[in-house]
């Protein structure tokens, strides 16, 4: 596990902060910043740019979870949320908000390392899955644009689908562009002229 992580700890109790920082140091993480007030979370995240945010809350509510999600930019960093109690609705809201680890029954120092490692691993998996989903969506959109461009060429030039694609590809190569860029330009031009 990467020991060079920047960790932001959100905890109002100074004694608990010291215990958390000690546990993190014992686990090999030394780049740790503590924050006592949730209200300063947005600014501190922007300034400190942590890799993971560790938040210890007694009783979270839906508004707090939304604020955490927005402030920590859960798509950019792992968030481990430790709570004393919860219910199914809050658990679901936390997971929907992008929290990487949602641990009920509070923060126990002896399991902090394993929870953070799990949160980081889960975050990386979720980010990889999102990246793959985004790439698949983009490929589908590109395919639709290329098919539309081929359709335009087939109608305008009375050519087969293979010939239309060959023309797109040859044009792209001669202009040192991607086929999708040529297809997009053709579709845009056709939309302007229709």
170-190 exposure pattern, b = at least 16 Cβ within 10 A, e = fewer: ebbeeeeeebbebbbebbeeb
For residues 70 and 15, membership in a common domain is answered with yes
Task: Confirm whether 86 is domain-assigned.
Answer: yes
At 7, give phi and psi (nearest 5°). -120, 130
Per-residue pLDDT tens digits for 59-98: 777 788 888 888 878 778 889 988 887 788 888 888 888 8
Q: Is there a single domain that holds both residue 137 and residue 103? A: no
Give the model's confidence band at 114: pLDDT under 50 very low, under 70 low, under 90 confident, else very high.
confident
CATH code: domain of residue 79: 3.40.50.2300
Task: Let me know whether 98 and 151 are in one domain.
Answer: no
- Identify whether residues 102 and 172 lie together within a single domain: no
Judge whether 120 lies within some domain: no
Give how many domains the chain has, as a whole number: 2
Same domain, 15 and 90: yes
182 falls within a domain:
yes
Say what the pLDDT of residue 179 is: 97
Residue 11 forms part of a structural domain:
yes
Q: Are residues 23 and 84 in the same domain?
A: yes
Structural Rg of the chain based on CA atoms: 25
Pairwise CA distance, residues 24 & 30, whole Å:
7
116 assigned to some structural domain = no
Same domain membership, residue 82 and residue 12: yes
pLDDT of residue 2: 55
Work out the average pLDDT over 158-173. Answer: 96
Q: Considering the domain boundaries, does residue 184 fall inside one?
A: yes
Question: Which structural domain range is residue 25 located in?
Answer: 6-107
């Amino acid at each position: 596990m990467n020991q060079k992580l920047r960790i932001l700890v959100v905890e109002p109790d100074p004694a608990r902060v010291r215990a958390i920082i000690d546990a993190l140091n014992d686990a090999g993480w030394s780049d740790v910043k503590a924050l006592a007030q949730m209200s300063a979370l947005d600014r501190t995240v922007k300034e400190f740019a942590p890799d993971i945010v560790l938040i210890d809350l007694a009783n979270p509510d839906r508004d707090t979870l939304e604020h955490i999600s927005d402030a920590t930019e859960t798509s950019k960093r792992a968030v481990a949320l430790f709570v004393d109690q919860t219910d199914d609705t809050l658990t679901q809201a936390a997971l929907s908000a992008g929290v990487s680890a949602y641990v009920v029954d509070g923060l126990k120092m002896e399991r902090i390392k394993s929870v953070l490692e799990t949160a980081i691993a889960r975050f990386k998996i979720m980010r990889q899955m999102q990246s793959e989903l985004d790439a698949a969506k983009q490929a589908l959109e590109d395919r639709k644009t290329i098919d539309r461009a081929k359709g335009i060429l087939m109608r305008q030039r009375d050519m087969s689908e293979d010939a239309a694609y060959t023309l797109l590809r040859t044009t792209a190569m001669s202009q040192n562009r991607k086929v999708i860029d040529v297809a997009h330009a053709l579709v845009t031009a056709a939309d302007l002229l229709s």
